[in-house]
Structure 1
Amino acid sequence: MTPELDPVIHAQARLRVVVTLNALPEGDQITFPGLKDLLGMTAGNLSVHLGKLEEAGYVEIVKTHRGRTPATYVALTRRGRLAFEEYTAAIRTLLDTTSAPPSGA
């Protein structure tokens, strides 16, 4: 049986976002501009993908101020980390299944 891949994470841009956020220690966050620069994405494109991840409960977005300057922070939630673990396990299973020699060969 082929494992199901989480469609929220599976989109290339969202997968890149989740992989990057997962590399941060649990509880850490990154600024929106920092994440945008790391991924080489436009602000609009990143915002759209973060919105989908936030809707799924995979990321938390906190808007605050540093002095008078607005600041937006992004972090992967526990639910997001678990979803990413399940996604990577499904990919590994899929790869193991497809790399196994055909039975009877």
Structure 2
Amino acid sequence: MPSNLTPDWSSEFEHYKQLSREVVTNEDIINFFNQNQKAFYLDNFSSTWAQMMEAYEAKESLSSDQLNQLEEMQWQDMPESLKLFAYDFCIKNGFCYTGTYS
């Protein structure tokens, strides 16, 4: 474990990893996103959230204004397409969650 991580990072990570194993449907993903904001920021040393936003911007052909509007939204109010994309990018395929899925 990198030395810049606090000891409780590991237990938080395990908590979200366990929760993510229960996620099956798109509705589950949206609920996970809405209820577990911190899960998307646990690996802040690799800036996965920023990388995800860049990938989402490219996928959706967003302007920088549109991207700024998204980033200023309340967590719960973000579009479902972003929630699904963020889950796939950050949790399912995210650096610190690698190995969660078989």
Q: Please indicate the TM-score interval, normalised by the length of the shorter structure.
A: under 0.3
**Rg larger for:** 1
Task: Identify the structure with the greater strand proportion.
Answer: 1
Task: Identify the structure with the greater helix proportion.
Answer: 2
TM-score, normalising length: structure 1: 0.26
TM-score, normalising length: structure 2: 0.26
